[in-house]
Structure 1
């Protein structure tokens, strides 16, 4: 249920995917105990400019650039005082939030262990557990301005099944966001290509003034992931209407 993104460190806010120098492609031979798919994954990692740039800037993962690019497009971190990061491990999104909104209350949750981050309260918790929402609310200490969710269930390899499972995860994250968001708050969530299902999209449009889909440049072209940014939360009255 986490992003599962690699390496460690802390870094700046450059959204670029490289230092401007042409990289020489690295080819990886299939080792005796490594599967072909693992070899392809390793080769892609070694040749991914965002992986190299994340390491250079000290970000915990290449995914940090996704939230940087989404924020540059939509500006949801500006003025935020309380932020929730669901499915946070290894912490790239929380890292960016802490850099962009110094002094904000940031609560990061994941079922996987995650190293501590300055300015971030880390909760080791399954979001699906009954006590998770109340624990998150208590940690926040007030209404959230931004709820981020990059959660994704384990994939099955069956496209339609995986799409429905991630939509289900997004629905749960949305209902949590509706519970905790302050008026005009923002909800950012990962979905798959094809966008949100009709009922989920209708629910978002009922509760938010603006609902848009985006695929940041740092999201790999061959990845089916897409992000929905719902801004201008209308408040509990609209959500209950």
Structure 2
């Protein structure tokens, strides 16, 4: 790894470059170089957030004001916990007002104001377990999950749509009327069937691209607000 001594040259910050190591692939080297030169990564370290993803949720919530003090929030695929940190601060769970429930198959270090449980939200019993844990319904379900990338855009899009569909199924089982659902998708957004379903279940559906998402990233977020509540048998 090489750096300029002053950090600036001709008025511009020098870029940190990473030398390719014998046991490191080119893709890993490029990822590491991008991390070292990402201002959000550096800011997250300074401000104590566990991931740069925290700034995406902060930006979305600054604009749409979903997270309110006293809300009960479920964070799916929460590890390492950047979104849970933001949610805990904004719903005031650290002060005992709201609640943030973080769910993941991976273990996650404790966060003040966040309740963590190892759970597979795909499990048919997961929504009932979550409702029992909360003692009721949630105000919001958040998902910054992404399926493992293959490098093939169409395949990756199908995988993440499948993941969003599962997250939407879960959300519709645990949300209170008026609740919201925020999930990561890839460029092009949700497909027609899922978009139609979300429009039936929620009053308003938006696609959001926060500035904190990398410029070269294909990620977007779908924000569905105003959950209409469970449909009756005659409406289904």
Q: Is TM (by shorter chain) over 0.5?
A: yes
Q: Tell me what 2:163 maps to.
A: 169
2:194 to 170, 181, 200: 200
**Partner SS for 1:157:** coil
CA contact (8 A) 1:205 1:211 kept: yes
Unaligned runs of 5+ in 2: 1-10
**CA separation of 1:193/1:80 partners in 2, compared to 1, >3 Å: closer, same or farther?**
farther
Q: Tell me what 2:134 maps to.
A: 140
Tell me how far apart the structure 2 counterparts of residues 69 and 117 of structure 1 sit (CA, whole Å): 21
2:231 to 212, 217, 237: 237
Counterparts of 1:118-197 in structure 2 under 5 Å? 118-197=112-191
What do the CA deviations read for 1:153-191 (whole angstroms, capped 9, x no partner)?
A: 212222111111111111111111111111111100111
Structure 1 residue 95, shift from structure 2 partner:
0.3
TM-score by length of 1: 0.87
Tell me how far apart the structure 1 counterparts of residues 129 and 214 of structure 2 sit (CA, whole Å): 34
**CA separation of 1:200/1:172 partners in 2, compared to 1, >3 Å: closer, same or farther?**
same
**Partner SS for 1:52:** helix
Aligned residues between the structures: 221
Q: Tell me what 2:79 maps to.
A: 89
Tell me how far apart the structure 2 counterparts of residues 22 and 142 of structure 1 sit (CA, whole Å): 53
CA contact (8 A) 2:130 2:174 kept: no
* Higher RCO (C-alpha under 8 Å, 6+ residues apart): 1
Unaligned runs of 5+ in 1: 1-20
Which sits farther off after the overlay, 22-31 or 210-219?
22-31
Structure 1 residue 26, shift from structure 2 partner:
0.5
Structure 1 residue 137, shift from structure 2 partner:
2.0
**Partner SS for 2:212:** coil
Counterparts of 1:98-109 in structure 2 under 5 Å? 98-102=88-92, 103-109=97-103
Q: Tell me what 1:77 maps to.
A: 67
What do the CA deviations read for 1:27-84 (whole angstroms, capped 9, x no partner)?
A: 1111122111111111000000000000000000100001001101111002452100
**Partner SS for 1:228:** strand
Counterparts of 1:16-95 in structure 2 under 5 Å? 23-95=13-85
Structure 1 residue 22, shift from structure 2 partner:
6.5
Tell me how far apart the structure 1 counterparts of residues 133 and 47 of structure 2 sit (CA, whole Å): 29
Tell me how far apart the structure 2 counterparts of residues 49 and 109 of structure 1 sit (CA, whole Å): 28
Tell me how far apart the structure 2 counterparts of residues 113 and 223 of structure 1 sit (CA, whole Å): 27
Tell me how far apart the structure 2 counterparts of residues 60 and 238 of structure 1 sit (CA, whole Å): 41
CA contact (8 A) 1:106 1:140 kept: no
CA contact (8 A) 1:80 1:145 kept: no
